[in-house]
A and B are shown apart, each in its own frame.
Chain A
């Protein structure tokens, strides 16, 4: 099985910000969740993947195609939903059929209309009158109507209510039932990724600081609540990050079971992706 995305040594510098040596792999039949703070480099990574910006170093392969030399071939099989709706307010959903059909070899008019129908999107209404949720559903319909094998989603579920988000996440899960399909999904809503992602890559200040299977991360990482005195007694090698607050301290541990065995007096809880982000973003090393 070919990897749907392979990124090796990707670097891009803007002067005040740099993406450093990013390595990512997305196998077929899975969803890779890209997490990170605002400005951490998620969108820059996606822009490099789509060849919208010029990288300084590295290699990117999409569905077996080089993303620059074979850009057009690769993009025939990519569906894209970004954080905003890129279709002018003066257009109607059916207009997109006329606009996008000539661009894709496999554009499926019937499938596009069936998505409009499925998402309850009025075909002839001006996009100007659509809610944010409707616009995202429209973008998703357009992204899926040419039978893509890879979906790239940048903050696609941001600003949507839980019902619409759930509906869209279900669609993503249906999409990857085919082992040739895969999704790269950047999101701030870590609970969404906990629901659907198979792999997680955490980008912090332009670097991948964590990249693993989601279940492996959630099963092994743990959060320890303790006092400052207890924290002082923990071997620094046993904890990854710490956070000190007014009412106590917290520590992030990489191996919850091993930690519990070594420090039976301390309670170690399961952690969430959001906890990990907070520890890395706001915490410190001991």
Chain B
């Protein structure tokens, strides 16, 4: 299983290297006050969450799946390796996000809580994307699953904006968050990524089922 995770990292090393470079450059820019760090965290988290879909595309190109399923691992381990790849990318981004947040807090007395909440919410989004897309990719293949990515990212945003404009959604409730004590807010902010993790596990079980029924 570790071999398959290694394979994903090796196949995408070029892409990961460019992401890493981008994070470093933007962190420096945020440090110099050119950029908002929260924006960078969100951007990176979402960008990395799309990588597993690219991994599927690479696999399809080389027909790797048939080979992977011929290895003495079993289908659930092959699927599990892809999910662990997602988790490792998420952990990496969270670790980097926390390090950057701490750095900016120490150097600029930036709002630590705000950045932390943003990091947690973006982590939840970063987990939600593969949660939905991985089973779809196993079922439909990378190319046919890709349009769903846009649906997952854009439909909720458009829906929230439209509902807010129509007055159905009361955005003033978000202001209530300011009234919460910082520790309570930080505590609540951890909930979305935890929920994301739980959903990712459910998604893994669904993908295992899809892969078990699939013919390679």
| B-chain residues with CB within 8 Å of residue A86 when the two chains form the complex | 62-64, 66-67
Size class of A's contact patch?
A: 20 to 34
CA distance A74 to B13 in the complex (A): 33
Of all chain B residues, the one with the shortest Cβ separation from A49 is B70
Contact stretch, chosen from A77-85, A206-214, A263-271: A77-85
In the bound assembly, the distance between CA atoms of A51 and B216 in angstroms comes to 9
Q: At the interface, yes or no: B58 with Cβ under 8 Å from chain A?
A: yes
**Nearest Cβ in chain A — how far from B2, in angstroms?**
5
Is the CB of A95 closer than 8 A to any CB of chain B? yes
Residue of B nearest to A89 (CB): B62
Closest to A104 in B: B72
B78 CB, nearest partner CB in chain A, Å: 10
Chain B: CB-nearest residue to A52: B216
Pairwise interchain contact A99-B66, C-beta atoms closer than 8 A: no
A103 located at the interface, meaning its Cβ lies under 8 Å from any Cβ of chain B in the complex? yes
Residues from chain B with Cβ under 8 Å of A52 in the complex: 66, 69-70, 215-216
Which of A72, A87, A99, A100: most chain B Cβ within 10 A? A99
Q: How far is A103 from B2 in the complex, measured between Cα atoms in Å?
A: 8
Pair count A-B, CB < 8 A:
81
Instruction: Establish whether residues A53 and B10, one from each chain, have CB atoms under 8 Å apart when the complex forms.
Output: no
Q: In the assembly, what is the distance between CA of A84 and CA of B11, in Å? A: 18
Q: Is the CB of B70 within 8 A of A75?
A: yes
Output the residue of B2, B10, B13 with the most chain A CB within 10 A: B10
Complex Cα spacing A85 to B6, Å: 19
**B187 interfacial contact with A, CB 8 Å:** no
Which of under 10, 10 to 19, 20 to 34, or 35 or more describes the interface residues of B?
Answer: 20 to 34
A262 → chain B closest CB, angstroms:
50
Interface flag for B188 (CB, 8 Å): no
Q: Report the minimum CB–CB distance from A107 to chain B (whole Å).
A: 9
Complex partner residue of A99 from B6, B62, B70, B74, CB under 8 angstroms: B6
Cα A87 to Cα B61 in complex, Å, equals 10
Q: Are B62 and A85 in contact (CB under 8 A)?
A: yes
- A71 in the interface (beta carbon within 8 A): yes
Asked if B73 is at the interface of the complex by the 8 Å CB criterion, the answer is yes
B3 proximal to A (CB < 8 A)? yes
Report A60-82 residues with CB < 8 Å from chain B CB: 71-76, 78, 80, 82
Is there a chain B Cβ closer than 8 Å to A54's Cβ? yes
The distance in angstroms between the C-alpha atoms of A98 and B10, with both chains bound, is: 10
Q: Do A99 and B73 contact each other (CB < 8 Å), given the known contacts A52-B66, A53-B215, A90-B14?
A: no
Contact with B along A122-149 (1 / 0, CB 8 A): 0000000000000000000000000000
Q: Shortest Cβ distance from A203 into chain B, in angstroms?
A: 19
Contact of B216 (CB < 8 Å), options: A47, A80, A84, A104: A47
With CB as the reference atom, state the residue of chain B lying closest to A105: B72
Q: Is the CB of B62 within 8 A of A75?
A: no
CB-defined interface of A163-189 with B at 8 Å, one 1/0 digit per residue?
000000000000000000000000000
- Of B1, B11, B58, most A-chain CB atoms within 10 Å: B11
| Residue B206 lies at the interface, judged by CB distance under 8 Å to chain A | no
B38 vs chain A, min Cβ distance (A): 33
User: Which residue of the partner chain B has the closest CB to A76?
Assistant: B72
Q: In this assembly, does A102 line the interface, its C-beta being within 8 Å of a C-beta of chain B?
A: yes
Whether the Cβ atoms of A91 and B10 lie closer than 8 Å is yes
The reply to whether A102 and B67 form a contact with Cβ atoms under 8 Å apart is: no
Query: A80 to B71, alpha carbons, bound, how many Å?
Result: 9
- Tell me, yes or no, whether B4 is within 8 Å of chain A by CB: yes
* Contact call A99/B72, Cβ cutoff below 8 A: no
Q: Is the pair B2, A102 in contact by a Cβ cutoff of 8 Å?
A: yes
**A-B pairs with the 5 shortest C-beta distances?**
A86-B67, A75-B72, A102-B3, A52-B216, A53-B215
Query: Chain B residues in contact with chain A, CB under 8 A?
Result: 1-4, 6-7, 10-14, 58-59, 61-64, 66-67, 69-74, 215-216
Name 18 interchain pairs, CB-CB below 8 A, sorted by A: A52-B69, A53-B216, A82-B67, A86-B62, A86-B64, A87-B62, A88-B64, A89-B61, A91-B7, A91-B10, A95-B7, A98-B3, A99-B6, A99-B7, A102-B1, A102-B2, A103-B4, A103-B72
